[in-house]
Structure 1
Amino acid sequence: MITRRTGLAATAAALLGGAVMTTEARASESRARRSDPAGSALQKNVEAVRDAGVSGVIAEVQSAHGSTRARAGVADLASREPVPQDAYYRIGSDTKTFTATVALQLVGEGRLKLTDTVERWLPGAIRGHGNDGRRITVANLLRQTSGLNDYFAVGADPGEFTPDAYRRNRFRAQRPEEQLAAAVGAPPQWLPDADDPAGERRWGYSNTNYVAAGLVIEAVTGHSWAQEVHERIIEPLGLRHTFTPGTSPYLPMPTATAYTYFPKETRPTDTTVAQGGGADGCVISTTHDHALFLRALFDGRLLRPAQLAAMRRTVPAPDWIAAPGVRYGLGIAWRPVAGIGEGIWFHGGTSLGCVSECGVTGDGARAVTSAAFTVRLGGPESDEQAARTLRMVEAALR
């Protein structure tokens, strides 16, 4: 996910704050995963991302016929060991697609409606300063049309985005109720149309929407958001290398050092140890597992036809500046791509020291996932890294 707010939001996130495998999953695991040979298109594109100033980058292209992987760069700038192809990483806002999927499963079961208001499930949680949970529906949360402020941005001081501030706060976790309260501590960007709030088309990216969605899931089910994600997605698909870390700031091995260039800093800071949020951005995975999830979602294994169709109903997302023509659905985005008539579906996520970028075809037949272990908070180098990563994703799906 690359919007105008991504860099500051990712930094503020850190400053503030044995699955049973299905038969199909076992079969997928058993298919040979091969690395692309030197000189292949995927390998060249991965190297182009590295050459934009990334310490290490990994990518995987997956279809029903198997997986192809490529990597470039190092796991650590000191040791110079190769970046592990099967590295764990924080997928950041790609988590939102998992959260939306759980919510839509509940809709398909008749336990939740997209037209339900937040007030119904979280009474009094969104009130004050002009905020009104009676005017915000589940659809508004998932489609980012609620007008809620991003809790990252309320009261944030960019001058505090420094290596020292990161180190002071990297073990600090916030409860979702605290995040929601912070967001409603200022007037909303707008209130959805009173006559048809679920049909609101004004769009503004806000992590708060998915914090609230996670709380709604918990209110509906009586279980934690993490339990629902595990039992509805991770376990059925046999995603053995995907999990929700709770309040732990650590990544399992193998992984790569996650480097962040803070504003005005010429040297990167090791930001591998960091908090990753909750229903808005905490999932840890691998390129292989993430691709399995995306393919299962779009080939209809996770959602009923009506709910998958609802997920794919989009509104224009004008703040998504890394690529033109982006439209946002329920926890997933779409953009046109030359050479792919139907365009591609994607989300993406940025956390401290890692950029997750992905794409999947509309039928789930082919998916590409990637992780780049360097983040620059703004500037031309950041823009170039983003552009090269998007080109890699698009080329892999043509």
Structure 2
Amino acid sequence: MKQHSRKRLPAVIGAAVAAVVVLTGTTTAHAAEDHSATRAALNSFQSAAGPGAAVYAGNSAGSWTLSAGTGTINTVKPIRSDEHFRIGSQSKTFTAATVLQLVDEGRVALDAGIDTYLPGTVTGNGYDGARITVRQLLQHTSGIAGYDPLGSIALVEPDGTYKLTTLIREGLKRAPVSAPGGGFTYSNTNYLILGLLIEKVTGQPVHQAVTQRIIEPLGLTHTVFPVPGHRSLPTPSVPGYHGGRLGPFFFWSPVLDYDPSVFSSAGAVISTLEDLTTFYQALTAGRVVSPAALAEMERPSPVTPIPYGLGIVRTTLSCGGDAWWHNGAVPGYLSETMVTKDGRHASVMTNAYLASNPPLQQLNTLLDTALCEK
């Protein structure tokens, strides 16, 4: 669920599996040659990533999928664009869009202190919820320190789930890293607080609010914000792995079961490459929030080292023009979706997250190549 900066910007032994190319959507079999640069970039990414990787890309004329490696170890099983996986911090864009809908409805003000809605929640240890605004939480300029909820495994409730209030209290035990608005620090606590804000304002659990406001209206039938306690992935799905690489060999073991409520509004959503593309395209086309709210989402703070807005990031492509993206990492998965406003899109995932050495440069190159390849 850790999100990584872009500057142009969190045993089974087997031999390496050869790359497999799969084409779907409107592309035909002979069209494989049309995407040779993207296929090479995908192979480079997968060789440093998990057992398998896939990219779902295209433009307003159609979409196609390339897969490398395997979705299931000890088999040759290409990853498909309609298979479910945990999207990690790409969930933050869903949460941000929900908050901006509440802004559109006049129920939340971006520049109001979070104490306006959650009095007494962000307090103590140097924090003052009257000074930390909703906008600052959305853009990670609140000064709240970074926090990995998986480190709070001991905070589990008797039923095996996690409460937002408990996770937030644990996150706020870390001292502030800057004054509110004084700097950019990526912190899951920001988005856990925003999840609690959604619950307080809507009167619904955050998973229900995001589902009813974002997932269902957009027809994202393969996207799920799981109910606390629901640990399984819908079918079809791509299994996630822990492990690493040593020369031509890889060492993978399945990710142990955990309850997604430990990530909640900061990273619990499950989706597919296809549904993620639909979501980001709808958002950037102005079909999720108002034009004014979208402009706020796309406007980065001047103190951010990357153009991070309100739950979405801007980048400039090598072929010119801007694209919008967010990435995500949770145990078993690393993913990212990037779209442009002229219809180009690329969504990438691999079924392992190598926390010590994630292949972010190869991921960036793959996305840029998929969007820029002629």
SS of corresponding position for 2:266: coil
SS of corresponding position for 1:268: strand
Partner of 2:113: 117
Which residue of 159, 168, 179 corresponds with 1:191? 179
Q: 2:183 is matched by which residue type in structure 1?
A: R
CA contact (8 A) 1:295 1:366 kept: no
Q: Which runs of 5+ in 2 are unaligned?
A: 11-24
Task: Within 5 Å, give how 1:82-231 maps onto structure 2.
Answer: 82-152=78-148, 172-192=160-180, 200-231=181-212
Distance of aligned partners of 1:201 and 1:284 in 2 relative to their CA distance in 1, 3 Å threshold:
same
Count of aligned pairs between the two proteins: 344
1:104 Cα deviation after fit:
0.7
- The RMSD of aligned alpha carbons is 2.9
TM-score, with length taken from structure 2 = 0.84
How far does the alpha carbon of each residue in 1:322-343 deviate from its partner, in whole angstroms, 9 at most, with x for none?
xxx6221000112233222x33
1:3 aligns with 2:28: no
Q: 1:150 is matched by which residue type in structure 2?
A: G
For 1:83 and 1:370, locate their aligned partners in 2 and report how far apart those are by CA, in whole Å: 11
TM-score, with length taken from structure 1 = 0.79
CA contact (8 A) 2:172 2:189 kept: no
For 2:47 and 2:296, locate their aligned partners in 1 and report how far apart those are by CA, in whole Å: 39
Q: 1:287 is matched by which residue type in structure 2?
A: L
Which residue of 314, 324, 349 corresponds with 2:328? 349
SS of corresponding position for 2:99: helix
CA contact (8 A) 2:223 2:270 kept: yes
1:201 Cα deviation after fit:
4.8
Partner of 2:38: 42
How far does the alpha carbon of each residue in 1:252-280 deviate from its partner, in whole angstroms, 9 at most, with x for none?
2222221123899x833211633331110
Runs of 4+ with >4 A deviation: 33-36
Task: Within 5 Å, give how 1:236-315 maps onto structure 2.
Answer: 236-247=217-228, 248-261=230-243, 267-271=251-255, 273-276=257-260, 277-315=263-301
Q: 2:322 is matched by which residue type in structure 1?
A: G
How far does the alpha carbon of each residue in 1:39-95 deviate from its partner, in whole angstroms, 9 at most, with x for none?
633333222222224311111114332211111111222233333342211110000
Partner of 2:319: 339
For 1:234 and 1:140, locate their aligned partners in 2 and report how far apart those are by CA, in whole Å: 25
Q: Which runs of 5+ in 1 are unaligned?
A: 5-9, 11-30, 158-164, 193-199, 319-324
CA contact (8 A) 1:55 1:374 kept: yes
CA contact (8 A) 1:263 1:377 kept: no
CA contact (8 A) 2:182 2:303 kept: no
* Identical-pair percentage: 32
For 2:126 and 2:110, locate their aligned partners in 1 and report how far apart those are by CA, in whole Å: 23
